[in-house]
Amino acid sequence: MLYSPRMLAGLWAGKTAIWLNRRIGHGGTSFPGGLGRRIAPGLLSALAAQLKQGAMVITGTNGKTTTSKMLAEMIAASKLTLTHNRAGANLVGGITAAFIESASIGGSIGSDLGVIEVDEATIPQLVREVRPRGVVVTNFFRDQLDRFGELDKTVTLVEEALALLPPQSVAILNADDPLVASIGRRYRGRVLYFGIDDRSYGSREMTQSAETRFCRLCGHPLAYDWFFFGQLGHYRCVHCGFERPQPKIRVSAIELKGEEGSAFTVNAPQGNWRVELSTPGFYNIYNALAATAAALRLDLPEPSIRAGLQGYRTNFGRMERLELDDGRRAFLALIKNPTGCDEVLRTLTQNRGPKRLLVIINDNAADGRDISWLWDADFEALAPVLPELRSISTSGLRGEDMALRLHYAGVPADAISYEPDISHAIAAALEMTSPEETLYILPTYTALLESKTALANLGHSPRYWEE
């Protein structure tokens, strides 16, 4: 409950803004929170302090949204209530808006737990305001260079945020990413590592671009016994002795099932259990593992963790499966940096059969103004499936740049079509897709929001703020 007139004014202004945005059919996930904070700067702290069992924060370059939603499913399976920025608005305005929406008109937060996905540059401020029980760090890759700068700056920001955690909090870190694990070597609080032991996927040689080949602690080259993707793998530094920490939460016996998802065994101090995950993509096993580690830290029971993962259905553009009419299939997969895009392309090429491809590139502020990452992403990986691609099209503010990139990746120019209007491009791609084909729609972040709106207008998806 809020007793300060100023806090209540901020809360009511935010609630009014949310209501108005929904009335005009706009998600508006950040503006209401920004408005509330302008009136009452301490609003988020006042609301978050009411969570009965505290909050878990998820950050990192890729996998934040999926990991937080998997964790939310596990909490729901435990019959606990939660406050969660589900729409993926992960700056402080969007997070505040989620708490405003969750609060009663009197400013009471009745939730047991908070699950907060947060942008890497925002996490120091969030930790100061929310003081979470734990922080999950998924991975670090180049992303929005015009906003974050070099990757080391991003790693340093997260490292500084962890130093602000209360003594009882825990850092939950990806042992397979040397950039993430290096934070654990310096962090003075409690650390819980997660990682993949199974080497049935990946290779002994680096086949993708990696963000680092050097030890962040001493600057000497890292030696790898195994690569999964990017710089994630089993590594060690022969100079200073830094090596992949032995994770307590592990995955083994991985079985990839194409578009149908995957199966794997979770190994934890609490026991071992088999999981069937319907979300395609090897990288989503990492997300499931991160969510499992966070859930165990929150003392959720194993049946709820397993039920949450197996009941999880991908949504909001993270390899989201769209069930169309006449048995047609479509996947909506966000791309926003080279490594994330490479993993989406890898999943696409592993799923054989006739398919269509629509890539939508925007360069709005939330996407990052710099789209040079398109030239670092491995679109050449499409070569083996070019005979299966019945159509290739691009759209968005930088759709013409994307068409040029595809041409340099080996796609004939006359095989690429360009439609600047996103809703028209999606409608045309859906119209062309026949029952035996799969349509893959690959948008950047703001293009994803426009795509979701277009798909909702066509009756193929709920509006993104309703998921």
Q: How far is CA 374 from the centre of its chain?
A: 19
Q: Are 239 and 218 in contact (CB under 8 A)?
A: yes
The mean per-residue pLDDT over the stretch 284-296 comes to 96
Higher pLDDT among residues 44 and 329, named by residue: 44
User: Beta-strand (E) ranges in 45-180?
Assistant: 55-59, 82-84, 113-117, 134-137, 170-174
Q: Are 369 and 148 in contact (CB under 8 A)?
A: no
**Amino acid letter, residue 175:** A
The number of residues in the chain equals: 467
Q: What is the mean pLDDT of the chain?
A: 91
pLDDT tier for residue 409 given thresholds of 50, 70 and 90:
very high
Higher pLDDT among residues 119 and 146, named by residue: 119
The mean per-residue pLDDT over the stretch 297-309 comes to 95
Give the C-alpha separation, 29 to 446, whole Å. Answer: 13
Query: Which residues are tagged catalytic?
Result: 370
> Was 341 annotated as part of a binding site?
no
Flag the least confident range among 166-180, 197-211, 379-393.
197-211
Selection from 79, 67, 58 nearest residue 277 by Cα: 67
pLDDT at 30: 84
Please state the φ and ψ torsions of residue 159, each to the nearest 5 degrees: -60, -45
Q: Are 175 and 195 in contact (CB under 8 A)?
A: yes
Write out pLDDT tens, residues 411-463. 999 999 999 999 999 999 999 999 889 999 999 989 998 999 999 888 887 77
Selection from 208, 284, 196, 204 nearest residue 244 by Cα: 196
pLDDT tier for residue 211 given thresholds of 50, 70 and 90:
low
pLDDT tier for residue 281 given thresholds of 50, 70 and 90:
confident
Q: How far is CA 369 from the centre of its chain?
A: 20
Write out pLDDT tens, residues 51-65. 999 999 999 999 999
The mean per-residue pLDDT over the stretch 238-242 comes to 94
pLDDT tier for residue 180 given thresholds of 50, 70 and 90:
very high
Write out pLDDT tens, residues 319-340. 888 878 777 889 999 998 898 8
Q: Are 410 and 387 in contact (CB under 8 A)?
A: no
pLDDT at 123: 95
In the block, tokens 């398919």 appear at 355
Percent of the chain past pLDDT 90, that is, above it, reads: 73
pLDDT tier for residue 150 given thresholds of 50, 70 and 90:
confident
- Distant-in-sequence contacts of 85-88, Cβ < 8 A, 24+ apart: 85/29, 85/116, 85/117, 86/316, 86/467, 87/27, 87/29, 87/316, 87/464, 87/465, 87/467, 88/29, 88/64, 88/117, 88/316
pLDDT at 10: 95
pLDDT at 464: 66
The burial class, CB within 10 Å (0-12 / 13-18 / 19+), for 418 is middle
| Confidence check: pLDDT of 35 > 70 | yes
pLDDT tier for residue 209 given thresholds of 50, 70 and 90:
low
pLDDT at 277: 93
pLDDT at 28: 57
Tokens of 166: 């209360």
Give the C-alpha separation, 140 to 173, whole Å. Answer: 11
Q: What is the DSSP letter of 243?
A: B
| Confidence check: pLDDT of 243 > 70 | yes
| Confidence check: pLDDT of 465 > 70 | no
What domains can be seen in the chain, in order of their start residue? 5-311 (3.40.1190.10), 318-458 (3.90.190.20)
> Was 237 annotated as part of a binding site?
yes
Q: What is the DSSP letter of 220?
A: P
> Was 240 annotated as part of a binding site?
yes
